[in-house]
């Protein structure tokens, strides 16, 4: 199968809860360590030693840059939703273990199934007496299975008091995902004068000889974080992370045409507002970000 990297959430280093929830993480880790060709990247919501990475909001991208799957065994609902949303952005599957609910499952947003489709935030959970070691071992087996066959996404195994019963679930496309990443982060697009599509930008960057194009080539401003830029970038772009832009805005020419971009267009939309307030009257942002560029202009670029 080749090398695989797992973000093992709530590993033996942390994420323990009463009732043996830490045992589920240890059981999953032990089972994964026996799988040939797998490497486990251990992390937890609150690491207790320097050998464990922190899996917390705002720091998930670095951890998942080389991961093929996230396995959440934290026993913490908030961490589980964070793992789900991070996996969706990264475009990799999620396998979760919920010891309290006696449940193991697999989600993969690119296959149309998301943890939020099954469990809305703040929904009540009926406690079970499911053995943590059984759940952890099942999660490891399901993780290997969903990597071998992404069609396994949507599988749920629930404890019935004696054994794990498997079923399938699917998204009801007519129902919005409550609290989803898109719902929480999407910003309405600016008007056409303040945004540009990936194909239109490609024509501008081709130069003044392109038929029908009479605009100067704009400066590209990338406001993503350094690990994102190292993973995929656009040639010639100026890199100023979003968090540094207010302090470094003086490095840019407010009179020159400028196109700012990020991953999906959320951060660049915010950056555009900052630039416009600072007098950048010729600034625009790339609709859909570098992901739209990879889809619509250059499919050879890696996506995340």
Catalytic residues: 262
**Parallel, antiparallel or unpaired: strands 238-239 and 219-222:** parallel
**Parallel, antiparallel or unpaired: strands 94-98 and 103-107:** antiparallel
* Pair of tokens at residue 157: 């195994």
The three-state secondary structure class of 219 is strand
Q: Judging by beta carbons within 10 Å of its beta carbon (0-12, 13-18, 19+), is residue 55 exposed, middle or buried?
A: buried
Q: Which helix (H) or strand (E) holds 267?
A: helix 266-277
- CA gap 299, 213 in Å, rounded: 24
* Pair of tokens at residue 275: 């630039």
- CA gap 302, 84 in Å, rounded: 21
DSSP 108: B
Asked whether 75 and 10 are in contact (CB, 8 A), the reply is yes
The three-state secondary structure class of 294 is helix
């Amino acid at each position: 199968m080749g090398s695989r990297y797992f973000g093992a959430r709530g590993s033996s280093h942390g994420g323990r809860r009463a009732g043996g929830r830490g045992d589920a993480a240890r059981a999953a880790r032990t089972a994964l360590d026996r799988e040939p060709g797998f490497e486990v990247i251990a992390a937890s919501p609150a690491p207790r030693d320097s050998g464990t990475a922190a899996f917390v909001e705002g720091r998930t991208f670095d951890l998942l840059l080389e991961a093929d799957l996230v396995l959440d065994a934290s026993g913490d609902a908030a961490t589980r939703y964070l793992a789900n949303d991070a996996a969706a952005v990264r475009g990799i599957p999620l396998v979760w273990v919920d010891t309290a609910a006696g449940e193991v499952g697999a989600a993969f947003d690119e296959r149309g199934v998301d943890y939020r489709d099954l469990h809305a935030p703040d929904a009540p959970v009926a406690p079970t007496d499911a053995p943590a070691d059984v759940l952890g071992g099942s999660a490891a087996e399901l993780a290997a299975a969903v990597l071998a066959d992404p069609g396994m996404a949507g599988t749920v195994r629930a404890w019935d008091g004696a054994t794990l019963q498997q079923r399938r679930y699917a998204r009801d496309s007519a129902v919005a995902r409550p609290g989803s990443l898109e719902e929480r982060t999407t910003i309405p697009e600016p008007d056409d004068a303040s945004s540009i599509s990936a194909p239109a930008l490609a024509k501008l960057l081709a130069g003044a000889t392109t038929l029908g194009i009479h605009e100067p080539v704009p400066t590209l401003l990338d406001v993503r974080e350094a690990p994102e830029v190292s993973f995929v970038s656009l040639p010639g772009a100026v890199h100023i992370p979003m968090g540094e832009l207010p302090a470094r805005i003086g490095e840019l020419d407010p009179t020159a045409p400028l196109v700012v971009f990020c991953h999906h267009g959320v951060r660049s939309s915010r950056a555009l507002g900052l630039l416009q307030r600072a007098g950048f009257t010729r600034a625009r942002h790339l609709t859909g970000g570098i992901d739209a560029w990879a889809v619509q202009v250059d499919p050879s670029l890696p996506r995340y």
